[in-house]
Amino acid sequence: MTKYLCIFLTLISSLLLAETEKTLSIIKPDAVQAQNIGKILSKFEENGLKIVAMRMLKLTPERISQFYAEHKDRPFYPALVEFMSSGPIVAIVLKGEDAIAKNRQLMGATDPTKATQGTLRALFAQSTTKNAVHGSDSPQSAEREISFFFTPAEIY
Ligand code: CMP
């Protein structure tokens, strides 16, 4: 009896503690070019992530450098900026319980050869640079990255 009460209380507390969050996702130029937008959006929706803002756009190298400024001293930075400004991207705000972690889990590892089977990168990425999707990695990044693309009035 005590065991069942404990399980019940654990379930209730995890439900109460699960936080509704927003996170930024980007469908990168490789996945747009390969016509994988629809398949990626379906994965979000099938996994309980609600699309509350979305826009297709092509960023200049200057704008994408600002977005990835934290990586500016990394050796892969020039290639990343060149690739991310090479074609249109889709910027999306996803909303849901633990949306940041859930999206990161759905995406899989940065290097697609190390990504778990069934994740977006295992399914759609070509390389560590051309890796199909981006997702915010913390609440602070999510806030900064969402406001990089959207005003509050554009988020539903
Ligand atoms: P993303 O999740 O958008 O965050 C930063 C990006 O830098 C990452 O996906 C990759 O596209 C790229 N990146 C990270 N690590 C490497 C690496 N070791 N080599 C090349 N590109 C990388």
pLDDT above 70: percentage of residues in the chain = 89
8 Å CB contact between 135 and 24: yes
Is 71 labeled as catalytic in the residue annotation?
no
How far apart CA 102 and CA 46 sit, in angstroms, is: 12
> 19-154 has which CATH code?
3.30.70.141
* H or E element at residue 31: helix 29-33
Pocket test for ligand 1, best of 129, 130, 149 (most atoms within 8 A of CB): 129
pLDDT mean over 82-101: 98
Q: Is the CB of 131 under 6 A from ligand 1?
A: yes
Residue 95 pLDDT class (50, 70, 90 cuts) = very high
pTM over cut 0.85: yes
* H or E element at residue 146: helix 139-149
8 Å CB contact between 28 and 90: no
pLDDT mean over 27-38: 98
* Joined tokens for residue 29: 């130029």
Residue 19 pLDDT class (50, 70, 90 cuts) = confident
> Where are the domains positioned within the chain?
19-154
Q: Residue 108: what residue type?
A: G
